[in-house]
A and B are shown apart, each in its own frame.
Chain A
């Protein structure tokens, strides 16, 4: 609605603009002729009237059309965000955060520019040309034909030459990305560079890359530096035509000098709308491809929430039967035919070398990754039939690299609650071994985390995540290498606190550290997606298998030392 009113004002604006030069002509012809004040004043009056109309319609046009584009942008952004919240974790796994953020900001902005300026400038240029042509024709058909010829040449050049510019522009972007990547690598590997004294070598390589970048930039500059002035030059030939062709017509009496002035003003009003067409064209192209990238998000398949069941209450019993899994678009089986049972009150350990599939198993258990029907059930209910939200009430995961939000520690622990109960939060924090750390923070549990607050160490982050999991009444708690950055003494303490609690829940500890697994009721050892052996610590140490080898390797890691400390403490 608003937008069509906007277009009405757009046309009105161009109409009023087309009228004003006529009064300038009137004045000039009067001055060089009879020079009567009333005639002059009359012309001024009309010129002012049309200026006022121009001003009003210009204001309304911008406000309506650009304003609507911002509102559409607002809506689209809300839609994208809502979509992010509906998509499951699998969607995010194979995509870079930076890329998704860029799609929902930069690409959205390109779409907005297409809808706003793009939608305003094209009809603006077209309606201006359409309204000006009859007036120009009435002033001098010959000059008008010349001007149309010039406009056509410029427009055709814009249409055909702009794509060539884009190729060069893309090359510059690629070069820029290469610089980005190189600097990123060199900062990440700075210690390697220092230890191998590669400073000089890397500086020389960077200089070369930089030189190459400049080469690409100058390619673009030479092209663009020629193209734009050339468009302007071709259009400015209109001035020459007005002087020479128009001059002839004035001399022959076909035109008055005032009419030549009017024609001249009209042409100057056309300059910007014509030359901006190239810019508008690239806006449209960018906007369309950006919309494509946004659609990839908006059209991504979602989890089906209808007809989902809940997990029945009762004593926890998790059954894994013949679980196999491979990631989409991959042929490699990450897990092969795994079976295990987890009962309420139990602590189950899972270990194995890097890449054995233990983290995948964790994510399947808590439903972040979806297992095929019949493979995992909780309390007799197949979890593929349970919605992620409902499953979340029963199971929870503490990942190795937990994500903390930029808010207070208390809010991070009681995630999703607006007014958490301080005692409950504190008690969870205590169990997670955060007490001492909290005492060191000026604002304790109300300290902000991240950008605007304190920076937490890896171990502190992991413990906040444990507190977060303990705060909830989930009956299955999966710790996926969740204590890797915590020192062995604190680790032991937290595990002790967990086993004190485990009567109401089951705990799955995934770790490559024997110290974390030792006291588990049952330990599964995975290798290449298969369960190689299982049993208690004592049983497994007794066998000459993978577990024993892992244990021996870690002996030097100072398990004995931490035990000794505990003895002293």
Chain B
């Protein structure tokens, strides 16, 4: 269970977000007060009309009060409209802010966060959790404040009209409060069981659909059906308990309401008799109806409150995630332009610090040099690439870029100078052109076309029905691996990178694309420092030096000929017939 302390703390954290919209919030509450006052005024006018004019047969007076009542009804209606729109607008502004705050946080979170957090979870924070908070603030806080005021206004009006009758009306209040308390408690436990059964049902359903192939292959139908029967049953019985609670509660409300009316009339009989002004009874009947409604609503809002607290907690948990890649207070300038130079000094690193992937790796890549990385899957090649891009900060050792420690360089300006082309590039839903420009401002259509020309991607783009406007669906499933990589080359060529990192595609690429890619590699690495994770001998022969990685260590380096002479690990990689 949550401690009140925790609730308070969470609530405090929402305040800065609320404060930004304090004017809208105050306006909402003011409008709510006016709406309430109009509501409370209506029975009062009814009473005045009956006692002052109907009882005295004053027809012109009756017409006058009728006009006033009409005016109040219209005012109440207009105020209600303005209030609803204002309070919803407030909620939407809050939602916008919370969502943007979360999104910006996402953009700042280190790669390691995404390694260990399921996508779906993060998605929920930014979509439904923020909705729950919005609902809580606009429908919850504002409406509850309004409801409390409304109850106070009604109580005040009743006392002013007749303290004795007011007392009689309030007599039913304890019954109402106790019944509501019991009801709330029993539906809370009922709904808890419903939620539990519901989540079990969802689990079994998701697994049955997701594992349909396994279920068919391994014939586990009976067992699945039995598991489902259990949770479906507990869902039904939990709900029947909730129905029972509702079925008891609504009749109790009927008793409270009718009992209130009877008590009022009984009090009128004993204490007022014929001196009673009957309009008061009209007003009181209206007031007790109005009185219980907000109370009931508040009881229902309680669930909203609980859900919002849980959502707030999750959202703030995300906002509190450390941004491991933190920029130093005064990042070093990056003045030199031109080719990049990279130095690794005794670098040790693991995604899980207990299991280092790179062990004591040292090397130097000179400006303008072209280097090939060779090694088995899991030897640490790709990790080196991620570290050069500063997607992770290292544990031990030093990485120097143009002689500066990488930690002192702003990550974004570092990455701007590097073009990394992965084996299987990620494509966004959108057009080919969007996937090349990536919506970066300052990249014109002609830039896109020129880059595509250079990268040879234009060859296949021109064959598409809509050319550059062809839509890419579902991460580019319809494009071949070679075409996807050509698109990534084009992306890289739209900026002017000083270091090119390329992970050669291993997926079988048809010979035409292969030829195109070779030419593209030639083009993109010209006059630049380049690192190529190589899978092809033709590539290896073109580079200045080859680094051989094995189990997180750099075991050999040198030119093709030097390594051949060494007759070490490198020779094992080469196809027998070369």
- Which A residues lie at the B interface, using CB under 8 A? 20, 24, 27-28, 30-33, 35, 37, 40, 44, 47-48, 51, 54-56, 58-59, 62-63, 66-67, 70-71, 73-74, 77-78, 81-82, 84-85, 87-89, 91-92, 97, 100-101, 104-105, 176, 179-181, 183-199, 201-203, 205-207, 210-211, 214, 217-218, 221-222, 224-226, 228-230, 232-233, 236-237, 239-240, 242-244, 247-248, 250-251, 257-258, 260-261, 264-265, 268, 353-355, 366, 368, 388-389, 392-393, 396-397, 399, 402-403, 405-406, 415-416, 418, 451, 468, 472, 487-488, 512, 549-558, 560-564
Contacts and interface: CB of A to CB of B under 8 A. Distances in A.
Nearest to B73: A236
Given A97-B209, A251-B54, A354-B507, A74 B232 contact: yes
Interface of B: 42, 45-46, 49-50, 53-55, 57, 59, 62-63, 65-66, 69-70, 73-74, 76-77, 80-81, 84-85, 88-89, 92-93, 95-96, 99-100, 103-104, 106-108, 111, 114, 119, 122-123, 126-127, 198, 201-225, 228-229, 232-233, 235-236, 239-240, 243-244, 246-248, 250-252, 254-255, 258-259, 261-262, 265-266, 268-269, 272-274, 276, 278, 281-282, 285-286, 289, 374-379, 389, 391, 412, 415-416, 418, 420, 425-426, 428-429, 438-441, 475, 480-481, 491, 495, 506-508, 534-537, 540, 550, 569, 572-575
- Tell me whether chain B's interface is mostly helix, strand or loop, or mixed: helix
7 contacts: A58-B254, A180-B127, A190-B114, A198-B440, A244-B66, A557-B376, A561-B550
B243 A63 contact: yes
A512 B99 CA distance: 43
B218 A180 contact: no
A40 B425 contact: no
Given A221-B92, A488-B376, A554-B506, 14 more contacts: A31-B274, A54-B254, A77-B201, A81-B225, A89-B216, A92-B209, A192-B428, A228-B84, A261-B281, A265-B285, A406-B203, A415-B218, A512-B507, A550-B508
Contacts of A389: 219
A244 to B, nearest CB: 4
A226 B236 CA distance: 39
A75 B81 CA distance: 43
Contacts of A557: 376-377, 506, 535
A40 B108 contact: no
A56 B412 CA distance: 71
A221 B255 contact: no
A63 B508 contact: no
A276 to B, nearest CB: 14
A251 B107 contact: no
Given A233-B73, A261-B278, A555-B574, A179 B127 contact: yes
Contacts of B103: 183, 186, 203, 206
A243 B462 CA distance: 78
B217 A562 contact: no
A189 B80 CA distance: 45
Contacts of B221: 85
Contacts of B235: 74
Contacts of A20: 258
A174 to B, nearest CB: 14
Best-surrounded residue of B240, B250, B261, B268 (most CB of chain A within 10 A): B261
Contact of B508 (A89, A104, A353): A353
Contact of A58 (B74, B250, B282, B575): B250
Top 5 nearest A-B pairs by Cβ distance? A558-B376, A560-B572, A416-B220, A225-B84, A353-B508
Nearest to A104: B205
Given A40-B269, A92-B209, A564-B572, A66 B243 contact: yes
A45 B374 CA distance: 96
Contacts of B122: 183, 187
A100 B208 CA distance: 11
Contact of B269 (A31, A183, A192): A31
B70 A240 contact: yes
Contacts of A91: 212
A250 B55 CA distance: 8
A74 B73 contact: no
Main secondary structure of the interface of A (DSSP, over half): helix
Contact of B278 (A28, A366, A553): A28
A35 B416 CA distance: 92
Nearest to A82: B225
Contact of A406 (B207, B209, B475, B574): B207
A32 B276 contact: yes
A180 B130 CA distance: 12
Contact of B89 (A56, A203, A218, A399): A218
A417 B270 CA distance: 77
A56 B247 CA distance: 10
B510 to A, nearest CB: 8
B171 to A, nearest CB: 15
Nearest to B221: A85
A199 B96 CA distance: 18
Contacts of B198: 105
A550 B506 CA distance: 9
